[in-house]
Amino acid sequence: MQLFVGLGNPGGKYARNRHNIGFMAVERIAEDHGFGPWRAKFQGQVAEGRFGSDRVILLKPETFMNRSGQSVGEAMRFFKLEPADVTVFHDELDLAPGKLRVKQGGGHAGHNGLRSIHATLGPDYRRVRLGIGHPGHKDAVAGYVLRDFPKADADWLDDLLRGIGDGAPALAAGDAARFMNAVALRVSPPRSSTSAPKSPPPEATPPAAEPDDRNPLQKLMDRFR
């Protein structure tokens, strides 16, 4: 059994914030793979499903970001899980928008949701880092992550979430490379090589010869001129 945790803040006010991309990721997995309905549990919202024989619990903590560890810890204790069974999807300022990386263990880099989870279960869990870009100055970070994605980001965001849905079974199977490849195929699809080559320009048609209406004697005389 595995626990996939999406980080965000509860309520419609925050639903489209950059900080809520973790919620968006697990919601997309639930939708694409027919998980059960979301229900209140573990101080959050939970949906259950399977990828083959792998049972996966999706969790959206509703404790607000800086207390996410409370909800995650409660779910882990209930299901008797280890940190290695947990994958956390979260926004990442240090990756360009639309980029994704999978990381096992490490620090929390000042992310309040990860900081709370670290305090509850330590660093030895897997993270899916979802790039949202950086506003350029640390003083602008709080306002940046708590603003909605602009309409200009809609295409890459949809591609990223579709790729996460596509690759989720591979992630559950422990194949991070195949998961990231599934995302890449959505975000940066290969260019088609099946398009027909351009036709070469048609050759110029030589001008038609003018009719020769000379009689035989004139032709003979012209040869010796």
C-alpha span between 132 and 47 (Å, rounded):
25
Are 5 and 81 in contact by the 8 Å Cβ rule? The answer is no
C-alpha span between 93 and 88 (Å, rounded):
15
Q: What is the CA radius of gyration of the chain?
A: 30
Give CA torsion, residues 122, 81, 167, 97, to 10 deg.
-30
Are 117 and 68 in contact by the 8 Å Cβ rule? The answer is yes
C-alpha span between 37 and 156 (Å, rounded):
27
How many other β-carbons are positioned within 10 Å of the β-carbon of residue 172? 21
DSSP designation for 179? H
Instruction: State the catalytic residue, choosing from 19, 33, 90, 137.
Output: 19
Element (H, E) at 216: helix 216-223
Bridge partner list, 40: 45
CA distances 79 to 15, 42, 113, 165, Å, are 28, 11, 21, 24
Q: Is 137 among the residues known to form the active site?
A: no
Sign of CA dihedral 7, 186, 148, 130: positive
Active site members: 19
